[in-house]
Every structure is written in C-alpha cells, then in structure tokens.
Amino acid sequence: MSANREDRVDFVVNAAGRRVPTIVNGQPARPYAGVGAPAPDGPKHGPPIRSAADYPENGDKRVPDLKTALERCGLRDGMTISTHHHLRNGDRIAVAALQAAAELGARDLRWLPSASFPCHEPVVDLMESGVVHHIEGSMNGPLGAYCSHGHMRGLGVLRSHGGRWQAIQDGEVHVDIAVIAAPTADPFGNADGSHGPSACGSLGFALADSIYADHVIVVTDNTVPFPCVPWQIQGNNVDFVVEVDSIGDPAKIVSGTTRITRSPDRLLIAEYVARFLRDAGIMRDGFSFQAGAGGIALAFVGYIRQMMIDAGVKARFVRGGSTSYLVDLLNEGLTDYILDGQTFDLAGVRSIGEDSRHLPTSPFTSYNYHGKGNFASMVDAVVLGATEVDVNFNANVVTHSDGMLLHGIGGWQNCLFSRCTILALPSFRDRIPVILDEVTTLTGPGERVDGIVTERGVAVNPRRTDLLEALEASDLPIRPIEEIKAEVELLVGGPPAKPRLEDEPVAVIKWVDGTVIDTVWKVPQPTESG
C-alpha cells in the first residue's frame, strides 16, 4: 500500500499555484482544482458484508484485551489502524492499540488518528522501530518535529475533520481496523461519550470509522448492561469490545474550566470581532455562529453575549467546540441549540449529557464536503484563528512560519464555508508578523476568508463588497490589509526571511474535497549557532 517517501514522485502546480506531488504514499492524488471543483464519479466505499451468524447471539462481543481483539480482526503488516482524539491529551488508547499491534509483530502500519496530541509521543519510537510506517492526521510537538525533519518513512497527510470523513467515505483511505475509545459502552458495542468516569462529550470523530472500517473495536472503562443510551456509536457496526481499567486521564480529557484570555490585545481583537458581527448586521434574531475554545474565541462569546442582550436578540443555534461559555448562552435563553462537534470542558460535558438542546454532531453532519450539503455552510458567522495570512486572505493553520508542522487542520477548512468567515489573530507573535505576502503553507484559499481581525484593525476581503457596505457606518478600524501589514513590519523590522526548506516533501495538505492544496517541505535540523 505505502511507498516510501524517498520514492521519486512527479509534482504539478495546482490551481492555487502550489507545487504538489501527484502520488502520495503510493496512491494517485488529485491536485487542488479550486473551490467547488466537481467530485469524482462513482459510489461510496463500502465495508464488507457481515452476518449476524458470526457474532454472539447474546450480543456479548467482549474479548479479554486489545491484543486478542487485534488478532481476531486479522491484523497484518501494512494495515491502517484508526483512532480518535475525543480524549485529547488524556488519551491512553491510541498508543496502547499500536503497542499491542507491535507485540503481535505487525510492521509498516498506517496510523490514521483524527488528531494527535503530545501524549502520543511514544509513536515516535514505534515509527523508529518500523511498527508504524507513517501518520495520516494532525501532527504537532515531537511527532510534528519527527515528520518535519524528514524522519517519517511515508508522507504525512493532513486532513480537515470533514476531509477525513470524505477520505474514508470515498475510499481514499481504507480503514482496516478502527479502535474507538468509549467513555461508556455495552457488551454489544453501543457506545457513548457523554457519561462515565472518562466522559468527553461527543464521539463524532469516530463515527465514519465505525461505519466504513473493515473491523471496529470499542475500548471502554465503563461497561454498562445493554442498552447503552444514548448510543453515539452503534454496536451493529462493532466487532469486539475490550474492557480496560482506564481509557484516559480525565484531567487531560476536558479542562475543569476554560479560561478567557487576559491579554488586553487579544481581548481587543475579540471585541472587534463581536462588533463586526453586530455592525455588519449578522447578529440578528435567529442568527447562528460558531466559535471554538481558543482564548480569543471565548472572549468573543462574552462580548457577543452582552451585545445580544443589549439588542434583545437570540441565536437559533451556536456551534462549538462547546465550553461553559456556550452552555451559559443556552441556559440564558440566548440560543435555542448548541450543535456540538467536540466538548472542551466539564460544563460542556455535563450539558451534552443532560440537556436535549445540546446535541452531539459528527463530521458527517457538520463538515463532509462529499455529502448532500453540511451544517458548516449554514452558519452565519464563524470565528477562527490562523498561524499566518497573506495579502490575498489566504491562510495557514498547519505550519509555523519557519515551516515546522505545528497544528492540525481540525474543522478549520470546513468552517470556511460559513456565510462570514472571520480570522481573529494578533498582528504579530513575538516578532513574527502574521500578515505576509504569501503564506508559508496554504491551508485555506483567500476567496473563503471574509474578514481578518487584528488588534491593529480589521481587514475585510475586497471581494465582500456587501460586508464593506454594511460596515460603512461602523466605527471599527477597518483598514486595507496591506496597511496593517506595513505597520507591523515597521515595528518588527521588516518581513521575515523566507525559511530555508529542503526540496523534499514530508507531508501534504488536503483540501475538503480530497485534493492536495499544498505540500509541507522538509525543515533542516537546527544547527548550533556560530
């Protein structure tokens, strides 16, 4: 299945002007062809037909341990094993599954996490020892460094949450074995994330794998007798259930409290974003918005909340990353619903478990681009971050300005389809300007970015003449993006030097439709100063 990264591949220049490989890990890859390019023909991918005759009639699919489960799933060299990040940095199951595979002697596995975290650092050793061939999923910290410096044998593939669903559904990635960590499950494999000692909220990230994988293993530390309700994962898709002492560290799964930023600059940015929504007329009765759990996004929710109260309007729905701040809106009657993709704090977990107006969603309902529409495009405004933007409103969320992998795409690309996409970011970090002539790594095309809000002012995409017109009477500091860029460069001593990158790909960035929008290049190992 996987060719080595060193294999010669051809490059083409895609519709965004980026040089991308045409073969990724031995499979042909389509270059990005622009927003809204036609989908490939053909049916969706299908898992093999199974028979109830092969599963216990009493519904008890429990096996003693992960090793047994993997063995009975027919684990072989070169298979794809998927895991999910709803336990975030508290996850104990991904590493346990890969280590169990290692004990069974498997090699050259493709690991398909929905995202990786610092707790997954042991996978570096598994790559070194040949058990894992490469990672297709977000990489940061030690894994990001391993990939960025060119140590991984295959190309990393970074996909959005919606893009991961699309890739699995379209058959671009065939999942051999999905390992799903479940805060609560019954012996049949029905599983839920909103209850149990390791409760995390929504299990949406694991849904595609449960439907399309050849084999599905549910791992839980909280078995309940059938039926486990609600069942976010259907036991009818599950092969085996494994009971363990603990699937994760609750303290690292959700934070006790999520905290608003205290930085005056970031608070100013958050306030500008809220005023943008208000002044542009987006904040009106029945509107909707999405904001994540970053410091600026949380502060934004605080400001928009007050503006909603002052104006006497409420939202029809808000989308999270849910936090106590969104839960407060729900409890105060300022929104009818929370549509939740990922639950960040205890208040969020409690709410999704108890309040029927707080609904778990999945990348399918929210984000999948190869579906009959999705929720993301129906959201009136979304507040996102970015590492870099450029004067054409293109944005980078995956690499640092020095080229190192820093961050996954998450739902970021998918959210660009909202009616008004706002990137809220400081105009410089340390000394590094955020607005460049050209982003280091293209993650989202500028035509889908409507506003860039910094502490120095608000740049509105000139394509959005409607927004510019709506904001004419606003006293927000609306400025051309070039002007903000020039002001920052004056302060920080000019634009940064282009990072020195080697002409060797280490990863590709997929667009929401599975095409390759950009390539991540090898970063030379740092040398000692001289």
Partner 1 sequence: MSASGRGEAGRAGDDVRGDLHVAVELADAGGLDVQLTSRVKSLYGASIEQTARATLAGLEVEHARIRIDDKGAVPFVIAARVEAAALRAGAAPGGDGKPERTVPDREHSTRNRLRRSRLYLPGDQPKLQLNAGLHRPDGVILDLEDSVHANEKDAARLVVRNALRCVDFGNAERMVRINQLPRGLEDLDAIIPERPDLVLIPKTETANQVAEVDARIRETLGEPADGDPPIWIMPIVETALGVENAFQIAAASPAVVALTIGLEDYTADLGVQKTLEGDESLYARGRLVNAARAAGVQAIDSVFGDVGDEEGLREWAGRSRGLGFEGMGCIHPRQIRPIHEAFAPSATEIEKALRIVAAFEEAEARGLGVVSLGTRMVDPPVVLRAQRLVHVARQAGLIEEPGS
Q: What are phi and psi of 381, to 5 degrees?
A: -155, 145
**Cβ-based neighbours of 139, under 8 Å, separated by 6 or more:** 116, 146, 147, 156, 158, 405, 408, 507
Contacts of 86 (CB under 8 A, 6+ apart): 181, 193, 200, 201, 202, 203, 204, 205, 206, 342
Among residues 60 and 402, whose Cβ is nearest to partner 1? Answer: 402
In the complex, minimum distance from the CB of residue 431 to partner 1, in angstroms, rounded to a whole number: 4
Among 456, 464, 485, 510, binds partner 1 (CB under 8 A): 456
529 binds partner 1 (CB under 8 A): yes
Q: Is 60 in the site for partner 1 (CB under 8 A)?
A: no
Calpha distance 422→216 (Å, rounded): 38
Q: Which residue, chain included where needed, has tokens 């036609």?
A: 38
Task: Select the residue interacting with partner 1 from 49, 52, 473, 490 (CB under 8 A).
Answer: 490
- State which amino acid sits at residue 453: V
Site for partner 1 contains 145 (CB under 8 A): no
Minimum distance between the CB of residue 402 and partner 1, rounded to whole angstroms?
A: 5
Q: Which two tokens stand for residue 146?
A: 């391993």
Query: Which structure tokens are listed for 214?
Result: 């050849």
Question: Among 108, 328, 402, 438, which residue sits at the site for partner 1 (rule: CB under 8 A)?
Answer: 402
Decide: is 432 part of the binding site for partner 1 (CB under 8 A). Answer: yes
Task: Determine if 496 is a binding residue for partner 1 (CB under 8 A).
Answer: yes
Residue type, 141: G
Establish if 431 lies at the interface with partner 1 (CB under 8 A).
yes
> Cβ distance 520 to 441 under 8 Å?
yes
Q: How far is C-alpha 158 from the chain's CA centre?
A: 9
Q: How far is the CB of 497 from partner 1 (least distance, A)?
A: 5
Binding flags for partner 1, 244-283, as an x/- string (CB under 8 A):
--------------------xx-xx---------------
Minimal distance in Å, beta carbon 310 to partner 1? 15
Q: Is 493 in the site for partner 1 (CB under 8 A)?
A: yes
Q: For residues 215 and 456, which CB has a smaller minimum distance to partner 1 in the complex? A: 456
Pairing of strands 421-424, 451-454: parallel
Query: Considering only residues 38, 54, 497, 503, which one is a binding residue for partner 1 as defined by CB under 8 A?
Result: 497
Q: Does the protein bind partner 1 through residue 58 (CB under 8 A)?
A: no
Q: Are 119 and 156 in contact (CB under 8 A)?
A: no
Among 35-43, 191-199, 408-416, 487-495, which window interacts with partner 1 (CB under 8 A)? 487-495
Binding mask 2-41 for partner 1 (x = CB under 8 A): ----------------------------------------
Which of 176, 450, 487, 518 touches partner 1 by CB under 8 A?
487
Alpha helices in 355-410 (DSSP H): 363-366
Q: What is the DSSP string of 25-76?
A: TTEE-PBP--TTPPPPPSPPP-PPP--GGGS-TT---EES-HHHHHHHTT--
The verdict on 492 binding partner 1 (CB under 8 A) reads yes
Determine the interface stretch with partner 1 among 85-93, 144-152, 388-396, 522-530 (rule: CB under 8 A).
Answer: 522-530
Contact 387, 406 (CB under 8 A): yes
**Which stretches of the chain bind partner 1, using CB under 8 A?**
264-265, 267-268, 401-403, 429-432, 455-456, 487, 490-494, 496-497, 499-500, 526, 529-530
